Amino acid sequence: ANLLSDSSQPLAARDVHLANELYSEAAQYGSPDAMFHLGYNYLKGRGVPRDLGKAWALLKDSGFSSRHAALRGTDAAAMAVARLLYEARLLLVFAALGGFVMATGAKGIPGGGGKVADWEDEAADDEFDDFD
């Protein structure tokens, strides 16, 4: 509230600082909209020092969206791509793992020479040794 009475700064700068202060307080109480707007301000350096780490954390916690944001153009496209990549991260991990398995030929246990079936057969034989 003291920011509005500080006449050493232009009104627009005071508004941004006040908005960030209020966004920060609301974000602490779990408001995804406040997290989004504060994260976007950290991303752009609006009223706060530009900090990509804080921006990413806040935007991620907000779900990369706000009911009140009106992003257009490249900002909207960048946010949509970031949200898509974040939401698809598990799919991307499994796709990379599948690609790795296919590229290596899925040879079974590392160093085992691809003899997983032989190992399983020996274990099964050991269980029935008492019946011989």
Q: Each residue of 41-100: pLDDT tens digit? A: 998 898 899 998 998 899 888 887 776 666 667 777 877 787 777 777 778 888 888 888
pLDDT higher than threshold 90 for residue 25: yes
Q: Give mean pLDDT, residues 92-112.
A: 72
Residue 118 pLDDT: 53
What confidence tier does 2 reach under pLDDT thresholds 50, 70, 90? very low
Looking at beta carbons, which pairs linking 100-107 to residues 24 or more positions away fall under 8 Å? none
pLDDT band at 28 (very low <50, low <70, confident <90, very high): very high
Higher pLDDT, 110 or 87: 87
Q: How far is CA 62 from the centre of its chain?
A: 10
Q: Which of 25-34, 35-44, 85-94 has the lowest mean pLDDT?
A: 85-94
Per-residue pLDDT band at 3 (split at 50, 70, 90): very low
CA pair distance 66, 76, nearest whole angstrom: 12
Query: Please, which contacts does 105-110 make with residues 24 or more away whose CB atoms are closer than 8 Å?
Result: none
